[in-house]
Structure formats: C-alpha cells, structure tokens
C-alpha cells in the first residue's frame, strides 16, 4: 500500500496536482504547543540500509535538540526500530546525530524496537512509566501529528505537539504532499480499526 501511495505522489508531482495535498492534509495539522514538559519525544522517520538517516529523521532530531537547548525539557527520547527486515534501527542513529548537535549523552534515552507509530507510543510509554512521566512534547511532521498524538494519548500521556516542517530533499514520491496526506488518512482509518487510537 505504501508503494501505491508513493506512486500516486510521484504522478501528482509530475502532473502539477500536488497542491491538492495541502487541502487534503489541512484537517490533519495540529498547532504547535511549545510548553515546558519533562520529556521531548522524537519519532524516527526512516533510515537507509547504509545507515544514513532520511532528511525527515535528521530534521526531527534538529528540532528536538533545539527544544532541549531552549530549556523546554530535560530529557530527549529518540524512538524507532527497524522498519523493514535487514534495516538497522533508526533510534541509535538519531541519538548519534543528537550528540553531534550538542545534546548531552546523559539526557538521551533510546527506544529502538518499534516499527510503526503505535509501537513508538507503546514502547515509549513503557519506558517513561518507570519514571512516572505522563507529559511529553512530541516531535514529528505536521501531517503525522494527529495519528501520533492519538497513539500516545491512548497510553495515558498528555501530548504537546511540536511539529517540524517537512524537508524538501526527500525522494519525490515521499516528498509529495498528496501522498503524505493520503498515507495519513489511510493510517488513521487502519489504526481506528485495529483499536490503536
């Protein structure tokens, strides 16, 4: 299904129809709520088989580290396991980039088992439960925020959205606003049917 949606995105870009994605995605966007919270959670957005982070993953980490530097939280959780067999987990690479950007190693926590948003939420909630944290700043892309927020709220966490802007240098099919919006609407429907939100 993901490849079909990306194919639609590539065709939409070629045909000049991608602005429809802005209209389709508008109801998904949630405003930023940048308030102090105990923890910032950054969701990974992919890693190549070479170990190179996607542009979206890199931008999410930059944003999370900027929020950390601004004093909005004292802990940065980086979440993401292998999305496909044979791929490395994304969270260790996110943590390495966060350290390169100046985040102190002692404030970083890694969740490297999740392969989808519902698992990000479940595993991070379990990780935070040990320290009784119930409130987070959540870093992801604007169109992904609604589904991600609902997943984390399902696990009893109070979520403050901290969305990024989507980087422009992703592969053409993934960069398409239309494919991203379609992916999220399908994701919301599937997650509701599975009882994950």
Q: What contacts 104, CB < 8 A, 6 or more positions away?
A: none
**pLDDT tens-place string over residues 75-85:** 999 999 987 77
Confidence of residue 153 (pLDDT cuts 50, 70, 90): very high
Range name among 1-15, 80-94, 102-116 with the lowest pLDDT average: 1-15
Whether residue 69 contacts residue 17, with contact meaning beta carbons closer than 8 Å, is answered with no
Give the single-character DSSP code of 164.
Answer: -
State what percent of residues in the chain have pLDDT above 70: 85
* Backbone torsions φ then ψ of 129, nearest 5 degrees: -60, -30
Whether residue 144 contacts residue 130, with contact meaning beta carbons closer than 8 Å, is answered with no
Average pLDDT over residues 57-66: 96
Read off the tokens for 21.
């994605």
Structure-token match 């604007």, residue found = 142
In this structure, CATH architecture of domain 36-163+183-194: 3-Layer(aba) Sandwich (3.40)
Whether residue 162 contacts residue 153, with contact meaning beta carbons closer than 8 Å, is answered with no
The domain limits of the chain are: 36-163+183-194
């Amino acid at each position: 299904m993901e490849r079909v949606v990306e194919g639609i995105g590539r065709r939409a870009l070629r045909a000049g129809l991608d602005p429809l994605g802005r209209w389709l995605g508008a109801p998904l966007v949630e405003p930023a709520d940048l308030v102090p919270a105990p923890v910032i959670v950054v969701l990974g957005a992919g890693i190549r088989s070479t170990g190179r982070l996607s542009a979206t993953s890199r931008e999410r980490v930059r944003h999370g580290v900027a929020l950390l530097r601004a004093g909005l939280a004292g802990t940065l959780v980086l979440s993401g396991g292998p999305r496909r067999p044979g791929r490395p987990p994304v969270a260790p690479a996110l943590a390495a980039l966060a350290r390169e950007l100046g985040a102190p190693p002692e404030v970083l926590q890694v969740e490297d088992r999740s392969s989808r948003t519902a698992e990000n939420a479940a595993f991070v909630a379990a990780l935070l439960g040990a320290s009784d944290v119930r409130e987070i700043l959540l870093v992801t892309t604007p169109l992904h925020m609604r589904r991600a927020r609902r997943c984390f709220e399902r696990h009893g966490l109070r979520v403050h959205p901290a969305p990024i802007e989507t980087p422009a240098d992703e592969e053409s099919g993934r960069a398409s606003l239309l494919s991203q919006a379609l992916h999220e609407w399908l994701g919301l429907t599937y997650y509701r049917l599975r009882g994950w939100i």
